[in-house]
Every structure is written in structure tokens, then in C-alpha cells.
Amino acid sequence: MSGLRVGVLGATGAVGSTVLEVLAERSFPVAELVPLASERSAGKRLPFAGGEVEVRALSEESIQGLDLVISSAGGAVSSEWAPRIVAAGAVVVDNTSFWRMHDDVPLVVSEVNPEAADAHRGLIANPNCSTMQMVVALKPILDAVGIERLVISTYQSVSGTGQRAIEELNEQSRAVLGGEEPEARIYPHPIAFNVLPQVETFKGGDDYTTEERKMMAETRKILGASEELGISATCARVPVFGAHSESVNVQTREPLDPDTCRELLAAAPGVVVLDQPADGLYPTATDVAGHDEVFVGRIRRDPSHERCLNLWIVGDNLRKGAATNAVQVAEVLAQRDLIRVPEPSLAAA
């Protein structure tokens, strides 16, 4: 395939800068790379594929002439600009939460439901990071024995909130170790040396957070499951820089023993099984950060239910949880000759 003109919106952010790395690592066929961000970053130079590219401010002019845009500049920017980018002729792979649950927007995980991309109308959504890594590990189990219910607890890193949260954990850690009071700006409480049972917000009096609601709704959409798939999620923020960890209790439809589960997962694309707990071998956030695969360990029977297993699932939220999947979706689109905006497009909706 000849090279594409690729825009990366939010290129200076935690996700966008990782998108630049992953595009180069995977040798995605880029003829021209256009990094886009706010006016604040215009003119800044970013490393790309052994050279440098100059950031352009997002505008009607800077989105012209592109084939594909990988967008990670927040929901408000995507709500306004994704239809404009589609109208300008580019297919958008969007990392924000804004479009994920729209009926005419496919929500795609490359190993799980690549065929969903076929129905795109100019925009494909990338799932939430904690949902993404979980469904990669659940898909082989779903296909083999069915899943009735999931009980999820997450331990999410600060890079999931973006660049400013990474800086906040750094600053607060130094403050506490220096005997000073940590100042909380991004999160409602200090995150250094703490665990917060709140990821995102409690909207409209809901007693689940928006992150927990996203995990429940997006998991069902990606797996093609109805409300009959019971899901209960508790999401916590922990003072870890990169990679989300999850404890997932899976109630299967048919019985599944831990050894068969290990075999299923070891054979699944994008999954690495690391499970010799007596030797201290299980996935940890610091080991998994920087990897593209989802790692699974502590696979064991739940003694309280004959059809339940417990899994420990760890993934790099900036890589498989965002940038890597976005680039893999772009690869799926390229393989299926889908990097073109169909009519009627989302922009006309």
C-alpha cells in the first residue's frame, strides 16, 4: 500500500505521543505525518521515526488533505472536530469516550471484533483503556465456554488521566518524602502514597463513577452481549505511573478449569500468560509498562462458586489501552480497504 497522510490529534499528550511511537515501531505506511494540538503547542517539534515533525494548531486548514486521523484530544474536542475531520475526507480513529456508545460508531478492539469496523461511517471509536485490556483476555473464554457475569476491581495508573496527572504524582511524591503537604489539583485527594476509590466522576447522583459505567457498557457493546451479561465494576486510582491492573472474577456458562483457561489464553492473540505464583511470577504494572500485550496471571478457581475463575489482568493503558489499539485498528482498516469515508458519512448525521 502506498503511504498515507496521517494526522495525530493530541500529539503532544500522553496518548498522542505514544501514537507517534507506535506508528513508527509498527512501520505503518505514513507518507506524511501531521501532528495536531492546541494553539499552545503550535510550532513545537516532536520526535517521529528518527526525525522530527512540527505541531500544527487544530483548524479547518490543518485538517485538509488527510487520509486518516488518530484523535486523542479529549471528548469536547472530538465532539466538535471529529465530524469536521470526516467532512474534510479523513477517517477518524477516536480515543475519547464521546463517540463510543453511538449506535452508528463501531467500537473496535483489533483482536476481539475487527469485523465491526466494516460498518464505519467515517469514525471508529477506541474503547476505554481498562475495558480494552480486559476484553482481550475475556474473548477466548467467551468463545469457548460463554460468560454469565463479571465482578471487576481495577487498580489504575495516573497516566490514564494524562500528562498533568503524571506530573502531579511526581510532585506529590517529592513533597511527601520531603516532609511537605502534597497539593491535590487533578484528583480530589492526594494520589501519592494513597488509593482513591474514584476514577473520573459521579455524574447526576449516580453511585457508580463514569469510568465504572463505561466499563460495563463498553464491554457489552464490544462483546456483542446484552444486559443478560451481569457486570459489576469498582475502579480505583493507585500511585502507579503506567499500566492498569485488574482483578476479574469470571462466571462462565459452561465449566472451565484453570489449566484449560491458561491454555486458551496462552493461544490467544495479544495475550501473555505469566502464572507461576509460587515463584513470584505474575504480571506487575512496572514489568508490563512498555509492552503491547495484555498479561494474565493468578488464574485460579473461585472456591465460592463452581463456575467462577479469578484472573489478574495487567496492560499498558497508553499502549494496548489506547495508542497500540488505535494503530492496530488503522491496520485493520488498511487491510480491509476501509480508509475512505463512505456516504452517508457521520459528518452528514
Ligand X SMILES: NC(=O)c1ccc[n+]([C@@H]2O[C@H](COP(=O)([O-])OP(=O)(O)OC[C@H]3O[C@@H](n4cnc5c(N)ncnc54)[C@H](OP(=O)(O)O)[C@@H]3O)[C@@H](O)[C@H]2O)c1
Short-list 133, 66, 77, 165, CA closest to 314 = 133
Total residues at the site for ligand X (CB under 6 A)? Answer: 29
Tell me which residue of 81, 35, 40 sits closest to 55, measured CA to CA.
35
Q: Does 38 bind ligand X (CB under 6 A)?
A: yes
Minimum distance from CB of 64 to ligand X (Å)?
16
- Name the residues annotated as catalytic: 129, 244
Which span (91-99, 187-195, 289-297, 302-310) binds ligand X, by CB under 6 A?
Answer: 91-99
User: What's the Cα-to-Cα distance from 116 to each of 20, 97, 109, 197, 235, rounded to whole Å?
Assistant: 25, 18, 9, 33, 27
- In this structure, the number of other CB atoms found within 10 A of the CB of residue 254 comes to 9
For 269, the grid coordinates are 492473540
Q: How far is the CB of 165 from ligand X (least distance, A)?
A: 8
User: Which stretch in 92-100, 212-220, 257-265, 305-313 sits in contact with ligand X by CB under 6 A?
Assistant: 92-100
Q: CA-to-CA distance for 265 and 223, rounded, in angstroms?
A: 17
Residues 6+ apart with CB under 8 A from 257: 301
Closer of 12 and 209 to ligand X (Cβ): 12
Selected from 4, 6, 15, 135, the binder of ligand X by CB under 6 A is 15
The interface with ligand X within residues 159-218 (CB under 6 A) comprises 159-160, 162-163
Closest by CA position to 86, among listed 343, 336, 263, 329: 343
- Site map for ligand X, 112-151, x if CB under 6 A? -----------------x----------------------
Least Å from the CB of residue 97 to ligand X: 6
Residues 44-63 that bind ligand X (CB under 6 A): 58
Which residue's CB is nearer to ligand X, number 126 or number 345?
126
Q: Give the count of alpha carbons within 13 A of 263, CB side only.
A: 6
Express the helix, strand and coil content of the chain in percent, nearest 5 each. 35, 25, 40
- Whichever of 120 and 319 has its CB closer to ligand X, that residue is 319
Give me the residues that bind ligand X (CB under 6 A), please.
10-16, 37-38, 40-41, 58, 72-75, 77, 95-97, 129, 159-160, 162-163, 317-318, 321-322
